[in-house]
Amino acid sequence: MAEPNPSPSVPGTERSLASLPGATALPRAPTAEAIDQAFRAALGKMTGGLSPTAFGAAWADWAMKLAANPARVKELQNDAFARAADNLEFASRAAAGKPLSPTDGREGGDARFAGDAWQQFPFNVLARGFENGAAWMRELPQGVPGLDPYHADLVEFTVRQWLDALSPTNFLTTNPELLELTRAEGGQNLLRGAQNLIEDMARLVQKQGPKGTEPFEPGKGTALSKGKVVLKNALIELIQYSPTTATVHAEPILVVPAWIMKYYVLDLSPKNSLVKYLTDQGHTVFMISWKNPEPSDRDFAMDDYLNLGFRAALDAVSAIVPEQKIHATGYCIGGTLTAIGAAALAREGDTRLASMTLLAAQTDFSEPGELALFINPSQLALLEAQMYQEGVLDSRQMGGAFQMLRPRDLIWQPMLQSYVKGNREPMIDLMAWNADGTRMPYKMHTEYLYRLYMDNELATGRFPVGGEPVNLKDVTAPAFIVGTETDHVAPWKSVYKIDALVGSEDFTFLLTSGGHNAGIISGAVHPKRKHRVRTRVKSERHLSAEEWCATTVPTPGSWWPTWAKWLAAHSGPHVAPPALGAPDAGFPPGADAPGEYVLAR
């Protein structure tokens, strides 16, 4: 069994004072580095992983650039005076006591203030004042000449956090709908909310999942597809699923899920299980189940995820289904790894891949979307120090970062629902899975953030595999790439960039409605979904993302049947299903699916 790579030096700490112009050879003592790292780790815990340096620099840049542009200052002052006057004028009309909408005289408005209760004094005045103040604050980073665009994004992000936190809808005393609910229930909602809060805090301390997740435990309410673990090593279990048809396509499918999530998002309930759908379509499906790392696994690196994960699984599939090419399918960061693996195989002349399908996976990180707010040198230095201290990055910290991208929907509304209204949101399979988080090992996640996000090494042909860089141009297998319209993790325009990177003559891009998870896990039948799809050969003109979207007609329904037809067209005749495992080749069938790794918290 391969061992994980030795611990790396911390990026940025290899440089000594002697490397600076005019400096003498005065290398920093290891104890000084350790002290600095411990301080950064402690600071990161205090700030929730957000770098005060990055945000402080952004606001300082904004303040200095604004001060150097008095015309823009004057515009903001005039707008502030105008909005203050509007507040006074609106308050004078609202004081008459007649119902008056906070959006009176305006188009649109905040949907949270649309209810009749917000038309009553003084709540309509509060809502109007908040809307005016919010609109003015959103203008702060706009139109400031010379302001760094990234700093403008950080300022806008900070403003958004403040506004979503300070909205009068979030407080009992300033929300007439909550006050009426409390009056109608005689305060019972607040009692239930307090009970919910106490219960949630206790479950958090005991490291239990949220209330209501118990029926969705893998192997009981989710991950129900039958199969066997045919390979287990220090990093993965490989599951081979039992056939559900009399014959199968000759070429098997190897699915490489993300290790930032548990694999069973692809095998949720039977109605939305991609595994079940594929086996019902006559495919032999293999699934990687990643180990949830412990602090002792801190030194697992990207090469380990490639060798113990992708390559080890590929070798097992080749032994169990010999003399057949393999459809490699990767999801999210698992798709990024699949692309890296495909490039490495191509470099070596290994032709085992029949095709490559990537689901919501980025290979060019030059425009990674809103997550770029958390990717800067000072931010990564804090995060890296925390990971170095702990050995892993906790799933709750990653989840918190995603929540801050949509705080109104993912933080404040759920808190109001549970702790003020006293109502539990009905648990569904996707919500229960989302609460079943995973950790990231220190070395791998450091490499991933620096090499891929910060330095974009994969897209520029500089990402090393086995010490030598790989190039996606070497990948010539047919490619099927899926992006989702409202993806906050892997924006579809970023996913689409692979069209200019791979050498595949047969290239298909599909854009589906929905987000990073719900868009992919749509089920075979989904009346609210639509998708666009187009195939081109490399001799045809490359289209920009905007042109591609504008000229590709949407098709109603789930994207799954479209992909199934593509897979069938790129597969050979049906054959008898292969046996589960290959004992003679060293891959005996072991534990039943879903295996053991997926159960670890």
Domain membership of residue 251 (yes or no) is yes
Q: What are phi and psi for residue 484, nearest 5 degrees?
A: -120, 140
Q: What percent of the chain has pLDDT over 90?
A: 79
Q: Return the bridge partners of 285, or none.
A: 253
With respect to residue 181, please indicate whether it lies within any of the assigned structural domains: no
Per the domain annotation, does 95 fall within a domain? Answer: no
Coil/strand/helix, residue 548? helix
Query: Is residue 283 situated within a structural domain?
Result: yes
**Global pTM?**
0.89
Among 66, 155, 223, 332, which one carries the catalytic annotation? 332
In a domain, 221, yes or no: no
Q: Three-state SS string across 295-306, please?
A: HHHCCCCHHHHH
How high is the pLDDT of residue 27? 57
Residue 549 a catalytic site member: no
Asked if the model's pLDDT at residue 206 lies above 60, the reply is: yes
Nearest alpha carbon to residue 470 among 429, 501, 448, 449:
501
In a domain, 566, yes or no: yes
- In total, how many domains does the chain have? 1
Q: Which domain holds residue 362?
A: 227-366+472-599
In a domain, 265, yes or no: yes
Q: Worst-scoring range by mean pLDDT, 375-384, 507-516, 554-563, 592-601?
A: 375-384
Summarize pLDDT for 7-52 with one digit per residue, the tens: 444 444 333 333 334 444 455 566 877 787 787 777 777 777 778 8
Residues 6 or more apart whose Cβ sits within 8 Å of residue 252: 283, 284, 285, 286, 317, 320, 321, 324, 326, 327, 578
- Distances, alpha carbon 294 to alpha carbons 209, 269, 332, 565, in Å: 18, 28, 22, 41
**pLDDT tens digits along 358-379:** 999 999 999 888 888 888 888 8
CA angle (279 as vertex; 277, 335 as ends), nearest 5: 75
Contact 429, 216 (CB under 8 A): yes
Contact 290, 597 (CB under 8 A): yes
CATH number, domain with residue 583: 3.40.50.1820
539 part of a folded domain: yes
- Exposure string over 193-230, b if 16+ CB within 10 A, otherwise e: beebeeeeeeeeeeeebbeebeebbbeeebbbbebbbb
User: Within its chain, how far is the Cα of 543 from the centroid?
Assistant: 26
